C-alpha cells in the first residue's frame, strides 16, 4: 500500500513516521507526477494560507480535486481539514478550498498560540490524547458528516465542538494525531484504505 503525503509545507515528516510505524509505504507529494499510483492521501497540518498558495503554484489543485472526487481515502489534520472544508471563516479571500467536507470551519478558532492546548478525547476505540495547535474550530457540520469525537469545556466556548469526523472517504481531525505516539487514528485510515482495495 502506498500513501501520498502532501509535502509542500507543514508537519509531513511526522505523518511519514506515524505511517512508517504501521509499515505503510509513503511518498511525499510536491508535484502532479508524484500522485501516480497512490492509494491514499494525507493532508498534514501547517499554515493553510501558505499551503493553499503552494497547491496552486505546484499545479496540484486540479489533479488533487480529481483524486478526491474519485473517492481516494484521505486523512486530513488541522490545516488539511481547512483546505477540504466547504466554508472557511476568517480565511484569506484567495484561499482555496476543495469543498469536500460539509463543514463551516473557523481558522485559529480557539485563539492564538497561547491558547493551543492538549486534552484527552474519547474515540470508539478508546481514549486518545489530542494536541491542538492554533487549531481550526468546526462551527457547523452538515448531516452527511459522521461525528467521531467532540470536546467540551473549552474556555470561552459553549457546548461541544466536533474535533474529528468522517465524510465519505475522508477522515478529518482538527488536532494532530501525528504528534503523539498513539497510532490508532492512522490505523483507522489504513483500514479504510484496505477496505477500498
Binding site for another protein (CB under 8 A): 7-14, 30, 45-47, 49-50, 53-54, 57-58, 78-79, 90-92, 107-108, 112-120, 122, 126-129, 131-134, 151-155, 176, 179-183
CA 137 to chain centroid, in Å, comes to: 13
176 carries an active-site annotation? yes
178 carries an active-site annotation? yes
Considering the complex, state which of residue 66 and residue 153 has its C-beta at the smaller distance from another protein: 153
Q: Please state the closest distance from residue 52 (CB atom) to another protein, in A.
A: 9
Considering the complex, state which of residue 36 and residue 118 has its C-beta at the smaller distance from another protein: 118
C-alpha cell at 179: 504528534
Considering the complex, state which of residue 40 and residue 80 has its C-beta at the smaller distance from another protein: 80
Q: Please state the closest distance from residue 130 (CB atom) to another protein, in A.
A: 10
Q: Please state the closest distance from residue 49 (CB atom) to another protein, in A.
A: 6
Q: Give the residue from 107, 108, 101, 8 showing the smallest Cα distance to 52.
A: 8
Considering the complex, state which of residue 7 and residue 141 has its C-beta at the smaller distance from another protein: 7
From the list 15, 78, 165, 186, the catalytic residue is: 78
Where does residue 136 rank: exposed (0-12), middle (13-18), buried (19+ CB within 10 A)? buried
Q: Please state the closest distance from residue 163 (CB atom) to another protein, in A.
A: 12
Name the E strands within 18-125: 25-29, 40-43, 74-77, 85-89, 101-106, 117-123
DSSP 112: S
Residues 6+ apart with CB under 8 A from 37: 2
Q: Judge contact between 29 and 193, C-beta under 8 A.
A: no
Q: Which residues are catalytic?
A: 78, 176, 178
Amino acid at each position: 500500500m502506498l500513501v501520498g503525503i502532501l509535502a509542500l509545507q507543514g508537519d509531513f515528516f511526522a505523518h511519514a513516521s506515524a505511517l512508517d510505524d504501521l509499515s505503510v509505504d509513503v511518498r511525499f507529494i510536491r508535484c502532479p507526477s508524484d500522485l501516480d499510483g497512490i492509494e491514499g492521501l494525507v493532508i498534514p497540518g501547517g499554515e493553510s494560507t501558505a499551503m493553499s498558495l503552494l497547491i496552486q503554484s505546484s499545479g496540484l489543485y486540479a489533479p488533487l480535486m480529481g483524486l478526491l472526487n474519485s473517492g481516494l481515502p484521505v486523512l486530513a489534520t488541522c490545516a488539511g481539514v481547512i483546505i477540504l472544508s466547504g466554508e472557511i471563516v476568517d480565511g484569506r479571500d484567495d484561499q482555496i478550498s476543495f469543498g469536500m467536507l460539509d463543514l463551516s470551519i473557523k481558522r485559529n478558532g480557539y485563539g492564538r498560540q497561547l491558547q493551543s492546548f492538549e486534552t484527552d478525547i474519547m474515540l470508539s476505540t478508546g481514549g486518545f490524547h489530542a494536541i491542538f495547535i492554533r487549531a481550526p474550530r468546526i462551527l457547523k457540520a452538515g448531516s452527511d458528516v459522521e461525528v467521531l469525537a467532540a470536546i467540551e469545556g473549552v474556555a470561552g466556548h459553549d457546548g461541544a465542538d466536533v474535533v474529528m469526523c468522517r465524510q465519505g472517504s475522508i477522515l478529518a481531525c482538527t488536532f494532530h494525531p501525528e504528534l503523539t505516539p498513539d497510532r490508532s487514528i492512522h490505523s483507522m485510515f489504513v483500514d479504510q484504505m484496505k477496505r477500498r482495495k
